[in-house]
Amino acid sequence: MKVLIITGSPHSKGTTALLADEVRVGAKEAGHEVIRIDTAKLDVHPCLGCYHCRDNDGRCVYNDDMTQIYPHLLTADVIILVTPLYYFGMTAQLKRVVDRFFAINPILRKTPKQLHLLAACGDKDKWAMDALVVHFQTLCRYLHWQEGEKVLAIGAYTREDLKDSDYPTRARKLGAEL
């Protein structure tokens, strides 16, 4: 299978980068083709809401790094979103990319895929990621994609906080069991 990992953190050696590394290793060891896209390193404009794409066969007015992502998005069997929690949602870096899915909505909604979620946050409250999870579930529902697994690392302000937890192992297992 083709697995597309899309990360949203600006920290290349941060908490969620570790989860992304682990899921990648697990999926590779299981023999999958794995592509990783770090959205924070890309030049992706936020959607203008101009609807040019709707009237022009999915072509966006922007010719930015989203053009590198669309081909993988269309051909991936599995998509894994990886994000730190920023104000109870995904990061803006990742959301910019997700909003730009809009241009190719009709195709995406007809293409079966699995969507998984890996996330980390500092708070230890059980409800800390509720809004993010509902968003993830709603994306699956709207896109007609299979709702996959979640690894939600609470109490993880930094990568160090993951050291004594089972979250990295769970991320690797998720990749291995795709």
Label each residue of 92-119 as H, E or C.
HHHHHHHHHHHHHHHHHCCCCCEEEEEE
How many chain residues are in contact with ligand FMN, going by CB under 6 A?
Answer: 18
75 or 158: whose CB is closer to ligand FMN? 158
| Residues paired with residue 3 on neighbouring β-strands, in sequence order | 34, 78
Length of the chain: 178
Shortest distance, position 114 Cβ to ligand FMN, whole Å: 23
Query: Which of the ranges 49-57, 69-77, 84-92, 163-171 carries the binding residues for ligand FMN, by CB under 6 A?
Result: 84-92
Query: Which of the ranges 60-68, 82-90, 97-105, 107-115 carries the binding residues for ligand FMN, by CB under 6 A?
Result: 82-90
53 or 85: whose CB is closer to ligand FMN? 85
152, burial (CB in 10 Å: exposed 0-12, middle 13-18, buried 19+): buried
Q: List the structure tokens of 34.
A: 């794995």
Cβ atoms of residues 61 and 103 within 8 Å: no
Site string for ligand FMN, 16-55 (x = CB under 6 A): xx--------------------------------------
- Residue with CB nearest ligand FMN? 14
| Residues paired with residue 152 on neighbouring β-strands, in sequence order | 119
> For 59, phi and psi rounded to 5 degrees?
-85, 130
14 or 58: whose CB is closer to ligand FMN? 14
Where residue 29 falls (left for φ over 0; alpha for ψ -120 to 50; beta otherwise) is: alpha
Shortest distance, position 144 Cβ to ligand FMN, whole Å: 29
Shortest distance, position 59 Cβ to ligand FMN, whole Å: 33
Binders of ligand FMN among 109-148, rule CB under 6 A? 120-123, 128
Please pick, from the candidates 32, 64, 72, 88, the single residue that binds ligand FMN as defined by CB under 6 A: 88
Residue from 114, 102, 79 nearest 7 by CA? 79
Residues that bind ligand FMN (CB under 6 A): 9, 11, 14-17, 84-88, 120-123, 128, 156-157
